[in-house]
Structure 1
Amino acid sequence: MVKTVIFDMDGVIVDTEPVHKYAYYKHFSELGIEVSEEMYASFTGNSTRNVFQKLKETFHLSDDVEELILRKRFLFNDAFDTKEDLELIEGVKKLIIDLHENGMQLILASSASKGTIERVFNRFELNPYFTHKVSGEDFPKSKPHPAIFLHAASLSVAPIEHCIVIEDSTNGVKASKAAGIFCLAYNSPNSKLQDLSEADFEIGHFDQVNYDIVSQIKKKK
């Protein structure tokens, strides 16, 4: 029986992707580099640090990675604070409340920075529902490396086999499976060019699952 649900954040709880994309491409323009849609899609699930490490190698940027991160975060935070139409993914808060009220432990494991996580959780009043929030900035390798999910599972009240992950990206699904954790994939209309085929279970809307379904979910054979 499932005891702990580990949520990704971007694309699963809130769609900050348009804000991230705006900030990244504004920064790319400042740097004078052209990043294709395919290359940008491959960054999904990566931390900002890993993204800029890859961009620095690919485009031979002379800028320090930490400086690149700070500039992108400034652009993101400025857009985040002024974007009034930023909303939670449809149906996800209802699911979060349902799971929490039925005694399910909820843990966040997001590649986002701690600052971004706090902005989202404070804005949408999510803190009461989650026992832990894990940020990808604390790990040297991003998804698809399983480190972030293995750490999240170590915080669970139950063994890892009683945990599941909810993800929406290729890298997130791969990280979950590499960690040996059941993966429920949310096929978001906003997540482009993502391969969710390795997931154990897939949904297109959060009204397709509730506590009764999640608690009894089993790995596909």
Structure 2
Amino acid sequence: MVRTVIFDMDGVIVDTEPVHRYAYFRHFEELGIGVSDDEYAQFTGRSTKNVYQHLKDQHGLPHEVADMVLMKREFFNRAFDEKPDLELLDGVRCLIEDLHQHGLELILASSASHSTIDRVMRRFALGPYFTHLLSGEDFPRSKPDPAIFAHAAALAAAPAAECVVIEDSANGVTAAKTAGLYCIGYNSEHSPLQDLSHADLVVAHFNELTAERIAALEMSG
């Protein structure tokens, strides 16, 4: 019996990827570095800090990682606030409300920064549904490292064997499985080039999921 659902955010609850992509590539241009689409796809599910540490090492950038994170965040925040068509992904609000109404605990475990998580929670009034909001900023390594999901499961009211993760990235699914958690892979059109084959269940739309179906999942860990 599932009693806690741990959500990723980007690509699962809201599609901020175009905003992130715009912010990243504007900043890459400013830094004078080239990043291919294939390389960028590998950043999915990783924290901004982790991405810039990788780029600093690979390109020998002279800037401090923390400074680059702040510069990219300025691009992101401006674009986020000015983007009128930013909406929750189709069906996810209904699923969140359904889970909440049926008494399942909801936890957010996202690689996004605290400021981005807070912006999304405020803009879409989602805060009351979640008992904990975890940011990848607070962990030294990003997904596929399992630390953020292991911590989410430790905070959950239910034991880990009764927790489920919903993820859209290969890195996220790997992190969930390494943490010993059941994982639902969401095959999001907004997160291309992601191998979700190691998830326990893969769905293409949130209308395939209900509180009743999730609560009754056969857990294998």
CA distance in 1, matches of 2:128, 2:57: 41
Contact between 2:182 and 2:220, CA under 8 Å: does it hold in 1? no
What corresponds to 1:30 in structure 2?
Answer: 30
Does residue 174 (structure 1) correspond to residue 178 (structure 2)? The answer is no
**TM alignment of 1:9-88, pairs within 5 A:** 9-88=9-88
- What is the aligned-residue RMSD (CA, Å)? 0.9
Contact between 1:45 and 1:171, CA under 8 Å: does it hold in 2? yes
Contact between 1:23 and 1:72, CA under 8 Å: does it hold in 2? yes
Task: Count residues with an aligned counterpart.
Answer: 221
Q: Percent identity?
A: 59
**TM alignment of 1:106-145, pairs within 5 A:** 106-145=106-145
CA distance in 2, matches of 1:129, 1:66: 31
The C-alpha deviation readout for 1:178-204, integer Å capped at 9, x for no partner, is 000000000001111111010000000
CA distance in 2, matches of 1:29, 1:41: 18
Partner amino acid for 1:168?
D
Query: Normalising by the residue count of structure 2, what TM-score does the alignment of the two structures yield?
Result: 0.99
**TM alignment of 1:92-107, pairs within 5 A:** 92-107=92-107
Contact between 1:200 and 1:219, CA under 8 Å: does it hold in 2? no
Q: Could you list the runs of 4 or more consecutive aligned residues of structure 1 that deviate by over 6 angstroms after TM superposition?
A: none
What corresponds to 1:195 in structure 2?
Answer: 195
1:119 CA drift (Å): 0.1
Partner amino acid for 2:29?
S
Contact between 1:164 and 1:184, CA under 8 Å: does it hold in 2? yes
1:219 CA drift (Å): 3.9
The C-alpha deviation readout for 1:154-181, integer Å capped at 9, x for no partner, is 1111110000000000100000000000
What corresponds to 1:158 in structure 2?
Answer: 158
Partner amino acid for 2:143?
K
1:17 CA drift (Å): 0.3
1:205 CA drift (Å): 0.3
